[in-house]
Amino acid sequence: MIRFLLISFFVMTFNVQAYAFELLMFNNKYCIYCKKFLREVGSEYNISDLPLIIIEKDNEPEWFITAYVEKRIKPIRATPTFILWDEFEKYEVDRIVGYGGKDWFYYQLKEILAF
């Protein structure tokens, strides 16, 4: 918890590129858990220091393919997969695989932000 608070403090205090994290969500339009996440969390998600970027699994952007080839990101084996992405350093920090409900998601997110 202390790490989470310290990271949050530094992110809010020092608005520099070094703290440019994004939460990537790999979505599949046929995935019931993806739809549930978008309905329960996606519509109200509002963490300005960690923007949510939704990427369609069957239409991955070129930068993702390059990052995968260069081993800066692990393969996506299931949807939804949420990746804490360091936009400044261009690598995967951590991930959440699956969606077990709104409370579960925020608990998992808090855990990975406490690195």
Query: Could you report the per-residue pLDDT of 9-54, keeping only the tens digit for each?
Result: 555 544 444 458 999 999 999 999 999 999 999 989 999 889 999 9
pLDDT computed for residue 8 by the predictor: 56
DSSP assignment of 25-73 equals EEE-TT-HHHHHHIIIIITT---TTS-EEEEEGGG--HHHHHHHHTTSS
**Mean pLDDT across 65-86:** 94
Spell out the residues 6+ positions from residue 110 whose beta carbon is closer than 8 angstroms to its own.
4
Spatial separation of the C-alpha atoms in residues 18 and 88, rounded to whole Å: 6
Q: What is the pTM of this model?
A: 0.80
User: Facing residues of 31 across strands?
Assistant: none
Which percentage of the chain shows pLDDT scores above 70? 83
**Mean pLDDT across 70-79:** 94
Q: Are strands 21-27 and 52-56 parallel, antiparallel or unpaired?
A: parallel
pLDDT computed for residue 25 by the predictor: 97
Cis peptide before 80 (omega within 30 of 0): yes
